[in-house]
Amino acid sequence: MKKVVIGMSGGVDSSVAAILLQKQGYEVIGLFMRNWDTSVNGDYLGNPDLDNDICPQEQDYNDALKVCEKLNIPLHRTDFVKEYWDYVFTYFLEELKKGRTPNPDIMCNKYIKFDMFAKEAKKLGADYIATGHYARIKDGKLLRGIDDNKDQTYFLSQVSKDQLENVLFPIGDMTKSEVRKVAEDYDLITADKKDSTGICFIGERNFKKFLENYLPNIPGDIVNIDTGEILGKHSGLMYYTLGQRRGLNIGGTKDRLFVAKKDLNNNILYVAMGDENKYLLSYEAIIENVNLLDEIPEKCTAKFRYRQPDNDVIVTKLDDGNLLVKYPQGVKSVTPGQACVFYNGEQCLGGGIIKQAK
């Protein structure tokens, strides 16, 4: 009997993935990753909805344990707090300092879930590792999950081909509603559990308050990029991302305002009026840190952020290993630091990090 070590997160997706693996005849072992120490790394704001007001990570572990006990699956626990800090959180802070908008979940997959986790799984004798991602692997190719609203190949775009060998995505052929139905049929504690939202180590905490523990606030002017008029004050460029509309706290105007540009040298946040403003559009981008899962043709589609519709693009390989990606139709708020992920139909071809857009 083949042995599968599955990452048990305490959520409904990994819970149902474990059930499916059991049904397929695998010997299933659960492994819970502790990646963040709330007692050391920043404040934990209590949540009255949690048992005994414990931190969310401990609640997740307790939920994972209850699921594994119900399914008669052993659950091991491993600590990647230092590795997560070194490879994910430090990267996150450095990118913010540069005025970029990082995606730490992508780096967590690359360095933690499909590297450190996989090594730990091998110690447990794993033939395969499995996760609750909405994605599929067929004939060595990474394919989108069939639930378009939940597909997570965007977040897997920096995982290498080698890392994806001997990996199983049991729920990739299911919709979210189907997953919840299985959990309900098994009367699992996670059946109605809310999906985690936001950045994993921040959770439900206030983003601004959390970052204040690590980066200094440097307030500055908010300026209308069309007129040069000072409209208000920002609380620190790191708190804003291109295309952002909410949280600007600018009064006196009925027009919809969007973040259009961040000037680090002068500490100015530029905003544009109207979501069709020319300053929100770009037509080409340089993509660095490219990870190829398959050859990227000259013409394919790409996403510049999660849940964005596919954009037709023209891709040119540059001498320095970066990619020049052109999209003559124009795309709004292509943001340095975010991932550009390439697709050929349902296949994910890989991706890279947006260096600049214009």
User: pLDDT, tens digit, for every residue of 265-282?
Assistant: 999 999 999 888 999 999
Q: What residues are annotated to the active site?
A: 108, 200
State both tokens at 36: 């963040």
291 CB-side CA count, 13 A: 23
Q: Where are the domains of the chain?
A: 3-185, 217-275, 281-357
| φ, ψ at 85 (rounded to 5°) | -65, -45
User: Residue 75 and residue 79: Cα distance in Å, rounded?
Assistant: 14
User: Residue 250 and residue 258: Cα distance in Å, rounded?
Assistant: 11
Report the chain's terminal Cα–Cα distance, integer Å: 54
Specify the CATH class of 217-275 in words.
Answer: mainly beta
The residue type at 30 = G
User: Residue 163 and residue 157: Cα distance in Å, rounded?
Assistant: 11
pLDDT tens, position by position, for the chain (358 residues)? 999 999 999 999 999 999 999 999 999 999 999 988 765 554 444 443 434 455 677 889 999 999 999 999 999 999 999 999 999 999 999 999 999 999 999 999 999 999 999 999 999 999 999 999 999 999 999 999 999 999 999 999 999 999 999 999 999 999 999 999 999 999 999 999 988 766 666 666 677 888 888 998 899 999 999 999 999 999 999 999 999 998 888 876 777 899 999 999 999 999 999 888 999 999 999 999 999 999 999 999 999 999 999 999 999 999 999 999 999 999 999 999 999 999 999 999 999 999 999 9
- In terms of Cα–Cα distance, which of 23, 24, 19, 18 is closest to 5? 18
User: Residue 87 and residue 97: Cα distance in Å, rounded?
Assistant: 16
| φ, ψ at 7 (rounded to 5°) | -75, 110
CATH number of 281-357: 2.40.30.10
State both tokens at 156: 């897997």
The domain defined by 3-185 carries CATH number 3.40.50.620: yes
In the chain, DSSP finds a helix count (H) and a strand count (E) of 8, 17
3-state class of 84 per DSSP?
A: helix
Judge contact between 254 and 308, C-beta under 8 A: no
